[in-house]
Structure 1
């Protein structure tokens, strides 16, 4: 038997891999594995941190300035709407009081009514152009005012001729005013009041934005500590001065923006609160004045109007009791309310003619004279507090913008110093 011998297979020879052969890393991971790469990353972090201080400061300054501007504009709009409302209730109070005279009303009261109506009409037109958001309701109020003045003229015409229907026209005119005009203005007052509150809240919250700068400062400190450990040097001049500048800018910005916020807060809790309170009290008092006249016009059936008089004067008294309000106003209101009680005493005793004579009297110490004293004092107080509020809000916005831009400049300078400080360490590895 023949045997076939298979050829021997050639042995496999392993290719040795030298243990000392280096393994090269590429890309970002490779760069970060070496000290120069880490230094460059630290440089980027420090630059971004320093720049963040400037950007945050600029945004905070601009935001606060805008909030102050909005608060000023919305406050002006609010006061303007309240002025229009006051003009209308003054006109209505004057018309109803003049109606008690019978026949041709006194010229001075007619002039006062015409002036109040003209002021209200002009105010409505100006306010509609000041804020587009209020234009629709202001248009409705203007239409209602036209209807109101038309009814008042019909009431006057009938009253001059001695027709009893004149009282019905006057009653209808007053109803139109309180259903088609004043509610729209009250809604606008509330809307603008909400906007003012939101703007004040924004002014107060802006300084807290600078708290974000603490994170940026912390990043600069962390980079310096890491760099000191890597290079065995305690201080990097560029990073040190960058940190000093960023810290100084943050503290300075916080002081300026915080001061502006505190000033706005003082205005909010002081003259602004006084302006709103006195304006509302003045409007309530004039509304009560109309109710006083209607209690007499209705001749024995005006109990509902007397209830409204008491309600509105009580509300006005509460508003005038606020600590921000001129304390001289409340006693003036009380003097007029006390004189009203004299009118009611005469009417309740069946002495209607004497009650009317007292109600329309222009003699010193008469109800109309006392009411005029209160009105004059309230108007003067309103103008003063509104002006103080405007000055407080308009005077702080400029400083907020200025400190914002200064912080941006300082942030950029700190970023440049940071990069230069890191670059010197990178060059040492070349």
Structure 2
């Protein structure tokens, strides 16, 4: 027997590895590639395809609910701000403006009455100042310190004590019969018209602008939600048609339930937002626009009344820059012209007889006011100051009586338009109220129903 040489071991022939693919360690293959391979493998069989379709349908319905929840929550929040924040702040800013203008009017009226200011006039002046101060504190608590509104509120808070101080000096001098009182009153009026009222007007414009922004945000169409909803509904209908063509069964309860849930959400979304959009638009057009015009009309009437009083206080001491006319009489004419134009606009914006009636009363009374004013000016020009004074501040047949009628009519019109705005805006907010939560719940139920319907079909393969 022949043995191999010592120290030499027999070796088995090595296989030819030239044609074999290199092995890839399992840990080097990424998770995505493994998932893709499994997905491809599953898609080659009908049960696998059904599982993929079921998961896709459930995900699509859930995405529809989530997108609807997010978009409508934002619009519902904006509608809430319109009702609870923006419009109340805009109304408060208008009230601040009106209270300041009315206080200036009452100060001039009280000064004209002589050394003994009528108690009713003084009480109204004090009430106006307190109301303006209260609303400024309220507005400051509701606005961010970085906004322009807060800066205007700060300005008003600083200027108001200066104004009231000047008025008190005017009263003190007037009680003593000193002509310096008239100078203090004119200086106070200049501070009101040149600094306080412009700041109040800027505050009102800022808050009204924010109201318009919030209303526009609430009325924006939720296009993304509508598109996703249509895609989800189309996918569910396609799946049922596919199921019918392969099994000849008309209905799959799970898929029908999922389709019904998606349809309800889509219709709720479309109808609810359409109603909310219409109500909020109506609140802005028929409510806020009228409120804006009426607020400006009321402020112009107050400023015209203050200028009318100051015409008698100044007695021609304050002239226009060209030195040809009385400044306060000129300002009165300008204010009355603006008042007439705004009342005409308010009458056109009134959408029923209830709203137009007080505006019509104000228009007629403004004509009466202007007629009485012309007679009073003619009397004063003849040198009959005391008679002219009674035609201005008298209890009967005076311009003061006409002014009070105009102010009362405008206050009534404002109250009616405010009610119309509140009702329409609240209806718009309610139309969006339950939609976000309802869409989320129905989406979850619809996704579950879609999975159940597909699982019912899968059970036939077991």
Same fold (TM over 0.5): yes
Distance 2:194 2:458 in 1: 78
Aligned-residue offset at 1:266? 1.7
Q: Tell me if structure 2 keeps the 8 A contact 1:207–1:258.
A: no
Q: Tell me if structure 1 keeps the 8 A contact 2:390–2:398.
A: no
Distance 2:105 2:37 in 1: 88
Q: Tell me if structure 2 keeps the 8 A contact 1:64–1:397.
A: no
Q: Which moved more, 1:41-50 or 1:386-395?
A: 386-395
| Aligned match for 2:333, one of 310, 314, 327 | 310
Distance 1:162 1:400 in 2: 64
Q: How does 1:313-392 map to 2 (within 5 A)?
A: 313-322=336-345, 323-325=348-350, 326=356, 327-328=359-360, 329-363=362-396, 365-392=397-424
Deviations 1:305-364 (A, max 9, x none): 22222222222222222323433332223322332222223334444443223112122x
Distance 2:255 2:215 in 1: 38
Aligned-residue offset at 1:152? 0.7
Correspondence 1:175 to 2:190: yes
| Aligned match for 2:441, one of 406, 409, 416 | 409
Q: 3-state DSSP class of the match of 1:321?
A: helix
Equivalent position of 2:48 in the other structure: 37
Which runs of 5 or more structure 1 residues have no equivalent in the other structure?
1-12, 18-24
Distance 1:125 1:46 in 2: 54
Equivalent position of 1:6 in the other structure: none
Q: Tell me if structure 2 keeps the 8 A contact 1:63–1:206.
A: no
Aligned-residue offset at 1:288? 1.0
Q: 3-state DSSP class of the match of 2:395?
A: coil
Equivalent position of 2:173 in the other structure: 158
Deviations 1:235-266 (A, max 9, x none): 54322331122113311332223222222222
Q: 3-state DSSP class of the match of 1:162?
A: coil
Equivalent position of 1:20 in the other structure: none
Correspondence 1:47 to 2:58: yes
Change (3 A) 1:38 1:369: same
Change (3 A) 1:113 1:52: same
What RMSD, in angstroms, separates the aligned Cα atoms of the two structures? 2.8
Aligned-residue offset at 1:366? 1.3
Distance 1:395 1:380 in 2: 23
| Aligned match for 1:86, one of 90, 98, 101 | 98
Distance 1:226 1:125 in 2: 66
Deviations 1:53-110 (A, max 9, x none): 3334433442332122111121111111111111111111111122223322222222
Distance 2:196 2:17 in 1: 102
Which runs of 5 or more structure 2 residues have no equivalent in the other structure?
1-15, 21-35, 320-325, 351-355
Equivalent position of 1:269 in the other structure: 285
Correspondence 1:211 to 2:226: yes
Moved over 6 A (4+): 13-17
Correspondence 1:244 to 2:260: yes
Distance 1:191 1:223 in 2: 53
Aligned-residue offset at 1:271? 2.6
Size of the alignment, in residue pairs? 412
Aligned-residue offset at 1:417? 1.2
Q: Tell me if structure 1 keeps the 8 A contact 2:89–2:207.
A: yes
Q: Tell me if structure 2 keeps the 8 A contact 1:210–1:254.
A: no
Equivalent position of 2:134 in the other structure: 122
Aligned-residue offset at 1:426? 3.0
Q: How does 1:54-73 map to 2 (within 5 A)?
A: 54-72=65-83, 73=85
| Aligned match for 2:213, one of 178, 198, 223 | 198
Distance 1:51 1:15 in 2: 52
Q: Could you state the TM-score of these two structures normalised by the residue count of structure 2?
A: 0.81
Distance 1:89 1:119 in 2: 12
Q: Could you state the TM-score of these two structures normalised by the residue count of structure 1?
A: 0.87
Q: Which has the higher contact order (CA 8 A, sep 6+)?
A: 1
Equivalent position of 1:427 in the other structure: 459
Q: Tell me if structure 2 keeps the 8 A contact 1:85–1:283.
A: yes
Distance 2:207 2:264 in 1: 38
